[in-house]
Chains A and B, each alone.
Chain A
């Protein structure tokens, strides 16, 4: 990992209180944040990083997560929704952050995840079988948090991920698919969680970091692949990948900070994909997490591999 960065706050401001308030108002009667597990994960992670971990009611959060677990061990986005790996990881991450992993049936959850691995090493998202690197990431992180990586064939999962690397150094959804920053995050995440980063050559890591650094546009924002528009969420997908490669300093931090801050709704709180657009909790968490990676003052440290506070991953896995 790169050395910690001391960032001097420019006159621009991060409206912490407004963002906290924005996430809290998502959990009111008509909006019901507590009715989709991924939404709760995004909101809760943002609150933890903002230094307000208790802004959502802990008991209600745990009860909601428990209610989403199915008999097959997987979790749905809501109690009335089918189980899926995406929401299974969200559920486990939420419980990890509020330190309540014992609130669910771990064995059932592990067996659900194990049942979704295919002979190629990839994981399907659910029983209907959509397979790609996003689900390798979600499966591996779920098991890593639960301390049960031994339940699946990690070696094959790593081989599958390596087979998704392209000529530009990046990774795609499946072998043959074009590189995309979101998939680069998930693939580097899998390699990091399984201590397999050394499977990439120095040359290919450098090429990948160079590709990622090219994602910064003259306005400071980052895009997800060549010739696309900037978007706040890539402040996470691109920067976390650069962090895993130890190359955060390959982009212009000040310009990125300026871009992220310009995407805030300074009246009602929250962040949008771009300046002036409608805010949502997804862009709010990834904008804030991006600021954490460049060391914006007053925020908690974020773990680039897990997208959770370092406080949480330290508690789970010990100091790195």
Chain B
């Protein structure tokens, strides 16, 4: 189907007769295997032997979703008369079978889906404590996958799913035994995003996950307004330092943009869902916005052609104007007229350094 990153073979590279023969044999063997498994499937044969045959086929072609479905049916059939110990053993060996496949095909949806099915079957058919142990084991796999490819889309999505289920199972256990402590993993997961960005600042996935965790984190800490402000200052400080390290990094710009827009917009309806960090007074908003403009302008002196920085400056400038104009009683340290002039200059510069997005900047110019 869709191939990615596979080098095109030149037309002149004619295959040798031997290679062609080998290729033909391989296709023939594969087709015979497909026919065998399809016959077994059509006759509703659900045995340990058919499980093995389907393993052979799926190892060769893990995109064959229908055969994964067949395997689900075989497995449910085999599990139904089993004791708890036998069930655990079979489910664990299934999880094991997938490891080399996931290593070879980390982006194949069907393998991940089958794995989630196995884990859900654990939750349904094993006792809570055992199921929890199995799910917790998954965290090691996720750590390994994300250690190898820190931006693996499936890896991050899978991690969120695993965390959610562990929290639910822990909730079920602590519901049975009062005072077992919190079922939430939000502190651990937040710390994980910290560890990930400390390894590599340029990790959009880690910043994204962080943004999703923060509202819950603050709620679960029962943070008051002062604590929330301190937290926000901490995050903004991290961003300031990080952007001085790499002002060209989009994931940093996006995260910073979110922090500012979620807390310093003149109206509470900023547009995109932001999650609650803290409600600031207009004075506090203007204080943050002014400080941000100061350090961003310093950075611009060092990197006068950085288009991401120019774009963000215009954004922060427009918020500053918005907040100041909506709260005329509040004295701002910056003059609105000065910000207006700066914004025009930044936009003029942006049109020069980012001609690819000219259409966007022209539109913005009309609005300013």
Contacts and interface: CB of A to CB of B under 8 A. Distances in A.
Nearest to A279: B8
Contact of A178 (B11, B208, B311): B208
A273 B4 contact: yes
Interface in B223-266: 249-251, 254, 257-258, 261-262
A317 interface: no
Contacts of B157: 173-174, 177
Contacts of A277: 3-8
B130 interface: no
Interface of B: 1-9, 11, 38, 65-66, 69, 72, 109, 113, 116-117, 151, 153, 156-157, 160, 202, 204-205, 208-209, 211-212, 249-251, 254, 257-258, 261-262, 269-275, 311, 355-360, 363
Contacts of A265: 8
Interface string A159-187: 00000011111000110111110000000
A138 interface: no
Nearest to A206: B271
B360 A210 contact: yes
A252 interface: yes
A178 B358 contact: no
B160 A273 contact: no
A302 to B, nearest CB: 19
Interface string A115-151: 0000000000010101000000000000000000000
Nearest to B267: A203
A210 B72 CA distance: 43
Interface in A193-216: 201-204, 207-211, 213-214, 216
Given A178-B156, A207-B272, A226-B250, A130 B356 contact: no
A180 B349 CA distance: 29
Contacts of B5: 273-274, 277
Contacts of B7: 276-278
A166 to B, nearest CB: 7
A107 B269 CA distance: 43
Interface residues of A, number: 61
B358 A81 contact: no
A4 to B, nearest CB: 15
| Residues of A contacting B: mostly | loop
Given A207-B271, A207-B272, A176 B160 contact: yes
A121 B270 CA distance: 26
Interface of A: 36, 38-39, 76, 80-82, 84, 126, 128, 130, 165-169, 173-174, 176-180, 201-204, 207-211, 213-214, 216, 218, 225-228, 231, 233, 247, 249-252, 255, 265, 267-268, 272-274, 276-280, 282-283
B66 A167 contact: no
B65 A167 contact: no
Chain A to chain B: the 9 pairs with minimum beta-carbon distance, closest first: A203-B271, A249-B359, A282-B2, A204-B271, A252-B356, A167-B258, A226-B250, A178-B208, A250-B360
Contacts of A280: 1-3
Given A252-B356, A282-B2, A177 B160 contact: yes
B356 A178 contact: no
Contacts of B274: 167
Contacts of B153: 178, 180
Given A128-B113, A167-B211, A201-B271, A216 B8 contact: no
A209 B249 CA distance: 18
A128 B69 contact: yes
Contact of A283 (B2, B250, B269): B2
B72 A282 contact: no
A214 B257 CA distance: 14
Contacts of B249: 227
A208 B357 CA distance: 14
Contacts of B8: 265, 272, 276-279
